[in-house]
Chains A and B, each alone.
Chain A
Amino acid sequence: MTEIEWPLYEVFVRGKRGLNHVHVGSLHAADDEMAVRHARDVYTRRNEGVSIWVVRADAITASSPDEKDPLFAPAGDKVYRHPTFYSIPDDVPHM
């Protein structure tokens, strides 16, 4: 039998109001709507979410996760982007 495999979807869940959607895993579904229903059953059986996003895995563009990736190099040598770069006397209030 030459059955077509349902496409893979990545699932993102917002745990509660005020939080970002976070990636929780993936699942297969025939279409977008079914993916949302399956995501509810697989990833939110215990009130783990108030909102679900699903997106077809093949629609995601990703950077290479390699830590040596030159993509992230520009952030490596810019210590002045962090608050700890600046030394300020301890007795300055509210800083």
Chain B
Amino acid sequence: MTVTHEDELQEQFDATIARHDRIEPRDWMPEGYRKTLVRQIAQHAHSEIIGMQPEGNWITRAPSLRRKAILLAKVQDEAGHGLYLYSATETLGASRRELTDMLISGKQKYSSIFNYPTLSYADVGTIGWLVDGAAICNQVPLCRTSYGPYGRAMIRICKEESFHQRQGFELLMTMMRGTDEQRAMVQESVDRFWWPALMMFGPPDADSPNTAQSMAWGIKRDTNDELRQKFVDMSVPQAEVLGVTLPDPELRWNDERGHYDFGQPDWEEFAQVVRGAGPCNTQRIAHRKRAHDDGAWVREAATAFAAREI
């Protein structure tokens, strides 16, 4: 193929991005764009799938039938979100089996937040409020991402995340209206999850080498630090309503900036968790692998049954 032809395709691609129009699966796209998308959407899909585990941990011990039904629905949604996103990744030429293998073998990452344990039932509420809240901050701008299938999956997901965040906040409000012991449980849970939630937006902009290119391609719409600021600004008044303290001595309103100032998470801890040395990394992957291996006979049997039908 001639160089001119490639140039023309690149020009068309650039023009589509410049118009804020969407790139669709069978359009020509630069290899870097495709690779970045596969990495980002797969990582997002894996996060949803692994994200079932911390909360799934409490399904059998939910304190009432109402809470159990809610938690079941929520964890089922996470599975659904993972599937929407795997479906979007597959439009880029990745195969589902490949993606599962990459997750299990550790070649592709998932959000570091899910490597933290859920030690008390209050964590179900805190995850809904802070972790899903941070996810919403990240995901709402992604509804306008330049790759069509990714944006459409995000629209679907955002609609459902709103239920996740509200059920979490309601759960915490209920506990805060309870006994001293329950209030202490909520505070202890918020203390553990606040910093990891801030880490969900990724490293500071200065240490995020891919951000500029991703924004030029219209994949990302805001930088990590912009989103983190937005999340802090949203969360402070919510914490006040709840009556919990956010564990950051540097947190205060800055009149000049019109935003809250806040401290930095422990980025060394973040790097460690990303490297695989977080509290639950091994357990999360082992569990996913076991579930996949245990399902092998089901997949095989269904394939055999389908073959017999024809």
Give every chain A residue within 8 A of B153 (Cβ-Cβ). 25
B24, B77, B88, B97: which contacts A65 (Cβ < 8 A)? B24
> What's the minimum C-beta distance from A25 to chain B, rounded to whole angstroms?
5
A-B contacts counted at CB < 8 A amount to 59
Name, among A27, A28, A30, A46, the residue most crowded by chain B CB atoms within 10 Å (CB to CB): A30
Give the complex CA separation of A66 and B9 in angstroms: 10
How far is it, in angstroms, between the C-alpha of A28 and the C-alpha of B302 when the chains are bound? 12
B27 at the interface (CB under 8 A from A): yes
- Give the number of chain A interface residues (Cβ < 8 Å): 24
Convert B195-208 into 0s and 1s, putting 1 for each residue whose CB lies closer than 8 angstroms to a CB of A. Answer: 00000000000000
A73 located at the interface, meaning its Cβ lies under 8 Å from any Cβ of chain B in the complex:
no
Proximity string of chain B (40-81) to chain A, C-beta cutoff 8 Å, 1 when within and 0 when not: 000000000000000000000000000000000100110010
Q: Does more than half of chain B's interface fall in helix, strand or loop, or is it mixed?
A: helix
Other A-B pairs, 11, CB within 8 Å; known A25-B149, A30-B302, A31-B309: A1-B296, A6-B299, A25-B153, A27-B87, A31-B302, A34-B302, A42-B83, A45-B73, A45-B77, A66-B28, A68-B12
16 A-B pairs, CB-CB below 8 angstroms? A3-B296, A3-B300, A5-B95, A5-B97, A6-B299, A6-B302, A27-B83, A30-B302, A30-B303, A31-B306, A41-B76, A42-B84, A64-B26, A65-B24, A66-B12, A66-B26
